[in-house]
Amino acid sequence: GAPVLHDYCPSNVSVNRKIKYGDVEKGFSESDYIREDTFQVHGVSHAYLEPCSALAQVDLDGRITLWTSTQVPYIVQCLLASTLGMRENDIRVIKPYTGGGFGGKMELRTWEFCAALMARLTGRPVKFTLNREEEFLAGRRRHPMKIHSKVGFKKDGTLVAKDLRIQLDGGAYNAMGPTATFLCGNFGAMLYRYPNYRFHGEHVYTNKPPASAMRGFGAPQSLYASEIQMNIAAEELGIDPVDIRLKNAQVTGDEIPDVATISSCGFIDTIKTVAEMSGWKEKR
């Protein structure tokens, strides 16, 4: 098997997340059409214009001021205090205007910690600035995933059941992977009504840079698989791709048990508007 990256995690699976409601097996037994597919999605760099940079300075009383390109100054302050064994009040984090983040600057990163620690040890200001190559090597990225999705439909295109299994390539550390793992299952149950739904997500340690938050945070990967399967099902069932979506689309007030209630949803209106503006029916 794969080498164990951390002694406390011999399976290399750092997080398991599960969502289940309805009777999935019964749903599949009542389905007229079932499709089962596996998808691979790759990692993506945020490629923000401003590379990450951090400058730390210690005053005569030992208090640290950190200037850093971040989206979450208060989280950086809290985590930096914890790792350095200091009071939060003795650490000030200043966030200048940030040249892009998109989720890639939402946690304490190694260069922030190293700048603060080295400034503390030397008594001198310390600055780290990553170049673009270093961003690709050490910066965060969208999670690569292996997605296995099994979906059951009635002949008229009505969704009956969905069984979704996802393995996330998290890199060597968790970062915000546990949240991403849950959100994959959360978004996997969204857009369409699945009366019976089961999700199992595994966040896996690999010998790569950590993956973390990025725009949509679990949604693009999950919904990519959902939309591909909807298109294939529509074609094989002989149903217009727009019609099969309108039949199954979620509406305001729909509930995903123990996960979320849809408080506002313009999905059906959006589909209809796009179909009308694009001349979909005429082009079909």
Q: Are residues 232 and 169 in the same domain?
A: yes
Q: Are residues 248 and 189 in the same domain?
A: yes
Q: Are residues 180 and 65 in the same domain?
A: no
Give domain status of residue 217, yes or no.
Answer: yes
In terms of phi and psi (left: phi > 0; alpha: psi -120 to 50; beta: otherwise), the region of 238 is: left
Question: What is the overall mean pLDDT for the chain?
Answer: 96
Q: Are residues 158 and 257 in the same domain?
A: yes
70: exposed, middle or buried (C-beta count within 10 Å: 0-12, 13-18, 19+)? buried
pLDDT value at residue 284:
82
Read off the pLDDT band of 222 (50, 70, 90): very high
pTM above 0.85, yes or no: yes
> Which residues fall within 8 angstroms of residue 16, CB to CB, at 6 or more apart?
181, 200, 201, 202, 203
Of 65, 100, 129, the domain-final residue: 129
Q: Rounded to an integer, what distance in angstroms lies between the CA atom of residue 148 and that of residue 222?
A: 10
Give domain status of residue 48, yes or no.
Answer: no
Cβ atoms of 160 and 29 within 8 Å: the answer is: no
Taking only the tens place, the pLDDT of each residue in 161-173 is 999 999 999 999 9
pLDDT value at residue 2:
86
Q: Are residues 147 and 207 in the same domain?
A: yes
pLDDT value at residue 1:
76
How many domains does one find in the chain?
A: 2
Q: Are residues 237 and 272 in the same domain?
A: yes
Give domain status of residue 136, yes or no.
Answer: no
Q: Is 179's pLDDT higher than 90?
A: yes
Of 87, 103, 129, the domain-final residue: 129
- Which region among 27-36, 62-71, 115-124, 253-262 has the lowest average model confidence (pLDDT)? 253-262
Q: Rounded to an integer, what distance in angstroms lies between the CA atom of residue 284 and that of residue 281?
A: 5
Give domain status of residue 4, yes or no.
Answer: no
* Segments forming the whole domain that contains residue 221: 13-42+142-283
Q: Is 258's pLDDT higher than 90?
A: no
Annotate 68-94 with DSSP letters as a single string. E--S-HHHHHHHHHHHHT--GGGEEEE
Q: Are residues 99 and 230 in the same domain?
A: no
* Mean pLDDT along residues 70-75: 98
Give domain status of residue 235, yes or no.
Answer: yes
Q: Are residues 221 and 267 in the same domain?
A: yes
pLDDT value at residue 233:
98
CATH number at residue 93: 3.30.365.10
Neighbour count for residue 104 (Cβ, 10 Å): 24
